[in-house]
Amino acid sequence: METTLRGVGVSHGVAIGQVRHMGTAVLEPPAKSIPAEEAEREQGRARQAVEAVAADLIARGNLAGGEAQAVLEAQAMIAQDPELIADVDRRIAVGSTAERGIYDAFSHYRELLAGAGEYMAGRVADLDDVRNRIVARLLGVPMPGVPDSDEPYVLIARDLAPADTALLDPALVLGFVTEEGGPTSHSAILARALGVPAVVALPGAGELAEGTEIAVDGSTGEIFVDPSEEKKAALTKAAEERKAALSASSGPGATSDGHKVPLLANVGGPADVPAAVEAGAEGVGLFRTEFLFLDDSQKAPSEEKQVDAYRKVLEAFPEGRVVVRVLDAGADKPLDFLTPVDEPNPALGVRGLRSLLDHPEVLRTQLTALAKAAEGLPVYLEVMAPMVADRTDAKAFADACREAGLRAKFGAMVEIPSAALRARSILQEVEFLSLGTNDLAQYTFAADRQVGAVSRLQDPWQPALLDLVALSAEAAKAEGKSCGVCGEAASDPLLACVLTGLGVTSLSMGAASIPYVRATLAKYTLAQCERAAGGGGGPGPAPPAGGGARGGGWRGW
């Protein structure tokens, strides 16, 4: 009998297939003692396993490229963390086996992170995955991960580690469903990049029996268990119609009456550029530069290395717009040479621009490298700072850009509610705003973006979040400046119409989402988008399933 479940849809498309479950996690190794004379050998085993897992993660990253590469290189850094390794050595020295030493050391570090109030939930999940991989290697058991199958299937997991998501084969993994996670978790972002339909935050997903046929609608978040032939036909037809609409849509982003809304791509480095170009991106709205800094946690990359990487991206968009975010370190992206140790709450500590202002030489080198990379190119370079809180932050960043001789527009990311509330003040110092809706939602609702239990508060349709978007857009219009969205909210086609109606001037997203947003925008006039945004009724984008702010306008919800 057909039943319907509902999670959070995070990647468009429909997948119909049989359930296959993620491999079981590594069992806890036995707590047995070893003689003192074996300690050195066990320490060697532990180090070899750590290095092998780190190398495997880096290799997976090199294969995946783009954002996945940055995430996996960060995981490799976790595996090789000197403090963790020292703790493992100490535990082995007093009698633990290599596998038990690894397990206990990582578990202790996990407790420390969890005790910080779950703001580090994303790192906790990555830490668990690294621990499991090292212990599996030491025990000689299969590595946890995606099941082996010759037939296509729908993958079910409690959560998906980046190392697994990055290398999913879309020819075999038709879609995936997880119990944990949220719309801005690593797995969700990578699923969109892969173009794999996905639903997250579905309690009880693990109870679906192996081999059960399900249909996954990554747009609505619905899961149909044992779907009827009629349901499968309807879902397939709807998916084909969406695909046809995408194929018919091309050119710059615009509403049906010609109001231009540039559609830009979020990229993590040169490896993401081909997909952005193929999707018809009109430029880059968010160039995350962290990938360059993850190769070595002890020091920043040289100016020459940065120039080479930046120029490769800038050259791909001649006469296009490329918005570069300077290094956003801290919180879940710590760097030994930059990030303070032992912060009680890193998500609310020294991160983003705060870190760079504490280390002006790192910021100066990056800005100088960007200036050199853009020399002689017709590209429109714009550079923005992450985690800007107020006008003082904005002025400090703009001053640093001028001192570095950077001939570009300077902007500020709106990720903290104070920046939205005081947007006009900030715009006295910079030339544009870019809304990072992922972090803006996290800080507005005190809801960690990696925790499935609070995924409702990560919904970008939340009225309070849209209020902050509206404030920012209105401030930019009043100052005659631009205000874009580069968070995951821009990848929702219907929400893109609402954002346009709120006065957002550009939308930036993962390359796979650009065709969906372009096709949907082209169906509606600017006036319809404005009515949908203001709740004035009348024709316009049909509200998605789920109610809330999505029905009849967000202001009155």
Q: Which residues contact 234 (CB under 8 A, 6 or more apart)?
A: none
Q: Please, what is the Cα angle at 214 between 520 and 491, to 5 degrees?
A: 25
442 contacts 468 by C-beta, under 8 angstroms: no
Taking the C-alpha atoms of residue 543 and residue 557, their distance in angstroms, rounded to an integer, is: 13
Nearest to 173 by CA among 32, 61, 60, 18: 18
Query: CB-based burial of residue 376 (10 Å sphere; 0-12 exposed, 13-18 middle, 19+ buried)?
Result: exposed
Query: CB-based burial of residue 96 (10 Å sphere; 0-12 exposed, 13-18 middle, 19+ buried)?
Result: buried
Taking the C-alpha atoms of residue 386 and residue 69, their distance in angstroms, rounded to an integer, is: 21
224 contacts 230 by C-beta, under 8 angstroms: no
**Structure tokens, 280:** 């018809």
Q: Which amino acid is at 482?
A: S
Query: How far is CA 457 from its chain centroid?
Result: 16
Taking the C-alpha atoms of residue 376 and residue 380, their distance in angstroms, rounded to an integer, is: 11
Active site residues: 186, 486
506 contacts 264 by C-beta, under 8 angstroms: yes
Q: Which residues contact 169 (CB under 8 A, 6 or more apart)?
A: none
Within 249-375, residue ranges assigned H as helices are 273-278, 290-293, 303-315, 353-358, 360-374
Residue 79 — φ and ψ, nearest 5°?
A: -60, -35
- Angle, helices 514-521 vs 229-248, to 10°: value is 80
